[in-house]
Chains A and B, each alone.
Chain A
């Protein structure tokens, strides 16, 4: 059945560009019919609002919101434009096109499949002639699932997801699952041939054909699922799937679990989907969204927990998303507002300009997706578990969010416990990002002053200087040095506990001035590592100037997400800065080029150039940092100092040469 979804989706996308309730049964209707169909995959379709009432399987249950709220899941931060989604326009979003298969006009193929009819009884209820077949996951022991005589492979997939409710059911839809049959060989030939089963094949016939006399345990059909690892729940908030009695997004979305990602496992987005390659459609959202950040400049708009908490109450009304024609606009907004967003260091989307209608469906789905794939409770990639080599390989698979797209950032790990430090280092190694370490707060500040860090993972309780004080110190230094593109934006600067933060444009004392401001593109992102899950500790961390926090023991998946999110943002900023710098330097003779020329010609001249350039650089810093201040530059520097940077130096050199 899920397979059908895949097939239908393209149809729906096409039709959705026209006026909405085109099919006899609009998706909305299907919402109310949904409960009659208890196939597990359908249980998990998130927008079946009424489904939860009938859902007997808590393990499949995800928070489902009241109908008018459902659209909000598309994007947590665009309250206004989404209300209409709950109506007929639901199908306009590819996300919701999951609904598609429920509506009756099926292509011929589906007609032969009994479970495609919405009212179809559950396989179990279908009666007496069921039998059992063996299935197994690679490397695991086999298990039996019940099938009916006329069941197709597609139905078996449903059953399998029920059987593997925990390991597969939470993170995969039936179309994700592929079944392989291993041929029985009379002669013990060496190469075992096997075949992937198509969803439309009849299981009973297959088994009779290939395993005359009955299927033995060893001949269990092999279950394959796409290799994909999704972040799991942070340990301290592991239960959002079961919050049935309180379905408001706010509650469900506390901290780490904003409403949106919860739909993750059920979204059609399955980038590394191997199995459905035959079924066109599922791959309709290519993995582009992870890259989308880079191409569109739009950071996935899900706020990270820290930021979210602060903003939440004011900006996200509990109810009343209303009056919008366009369900999406998110990405469009991103394009238009992207710069402002970045500038204000506030990833929250601003009111959005309308975008062309036909773009809508696509755009709707994309922005949330990168993070959507997350909190499946510990999905187990089946193959990986058996061999760590396989893990390595699979993690090298391009397209996987974790490996493909981790931005090129530099992380400072601040942790006093060597055990934790080593594990974090190993994580960083795995993520293939650069990192440095510091064992106490003072160290951290010193290291940070060297520049070039994008992200700080800051343990809070540290010897010598604790993490909060180190954070405050870093923020103070950032402020007095006017670090960052948005140094004057009030929204980006946390409140300082010490009195120093008052004068924004203050000239830094010499001991506070940073050596190489070019290496400080923007305020560093500080993610606090808190051992306690106490809210008060988090507030304290945020108040000190941390951007975000992770609860210890740090979970690799969450850490990955944080590195992704913040890293992407930082990488963007850095890129921006780089481009500005480039433009700037192009308008003037390139200092470096001149320097190289010189070094080629005369060592002495090169030396001079270096010295002068160095002096110029220092001078520039002082200039920028202490504009109005007394120029304390030493006399030999002043000549170059009055000109900008090393230009005068290179000018001299050129003249001399």
Chain B
């Protein structure tokens, strides 16, 4: 990547699930490159938010509550987009669409609700896996002892 060639930022390769430009924008807000206080608080805030949202998604799935699932998908989409967590964002967007009884691209479709719910169930699995991955990368980046 051109970025590394000119030494733009000392970022490790964050993998393709994180959009470097977007994430760097947050890193640039850090006053101290060692501490990275601000970005870390944002990222860890996101971890908490994601965990909570996943739980809420699970319970909404149990209740077959499509509207809530859509809202939750939208909610997490917003913050994951802000962090540049592309894959998570994409999955969340799908959940948002499915919950709104649309196909994954946001076009209205005529599945029955059970189909939507099963689509969401699958997507939630995907998004959790995607999330695990970025969480690991990010924790490594912040030298979190929990990083595995």
Contact = CB atoms under 8 A, between A and B. Distances in A.
B42 A422 contact: yes
Give the interface centre of A378, A419, A459 by most chain B CB atoms within 10 Å. A419
B8 A417 contact: no
B142 interface: no
Contacts of B28: 388, 391, 556
Give the interface SS of chain B, mostly helix, strand, loop or mixed. helix
B12 to A, nearest CB: 15
Interface stretch (B18-26, B57-65, B112-120, B124-132): B18-26
Given A167-B2, A388-B32, A461-B74, A419 B82 contact: yes
Interface of A: 137, 139-141, 164, 166-168, 232, 235, 378, 380, 382, 385-389, 391-392, 416-420, 422-423, 426-427, 430, 459, 461, 463, 531-532, 552-556
B45 A531 contact: no
B137 interface: no
B147 interface: no
Contacts of A426: 29, 38
B56 interface: no
Given A166-B2, A385-B8, A389-B31, 4 more contacts: A386-B7, A420-B79, A427-B29, A461-B74
A378 B20 CA distance: 12
A553 B33 contact: no
Given A166-B2, A388-B32, A423-B26, A553 B81 contact: yes
Interface residues of B, number: 35
A558 to B, nearest CB: 11
B117 to A, nearest CB: 22
A167 B8 CA distance: 8
A471 to B, nearest CB: 18
Interface of B: 2-3, 5-10, 21-22, 25-26, 28-33, 38, 41-42, 45-46, 49, 71, 74-75, 77-79, 81-84, 106
A289 B62 CA distance: 60
B7 A388 contact: no
A428 to B, nearest CB: 11
B75 A417 contact: yes
Nearest to A415: B78
B82 A552 contact: yes
A427 B25 CA distance: 10
A573 B77 CA distance: 37
A139 B49 CA distance: 37
B78 A552 contact: yes
B25 A556 contact: yes
The 3 closest A-B pairs by CB, nearest first: A140-B7, A419-B79, A167-B6
A607 to B, nearest CB: 47
Nearest to A529: B78
Contact of B78 (A232, A385, A531): A531
A555 B28 CA distance: 12
Contacts of A427: 29
A554 B83 CA distance: 10
A386 B78 CA distance: 30
Given A391-B28, A419-B45, A137 B79 contact: no
A430 B29 contact: yes
Contact of B77 (A141, A380, A423, A531): A531
A426 B81 CA distance: 17
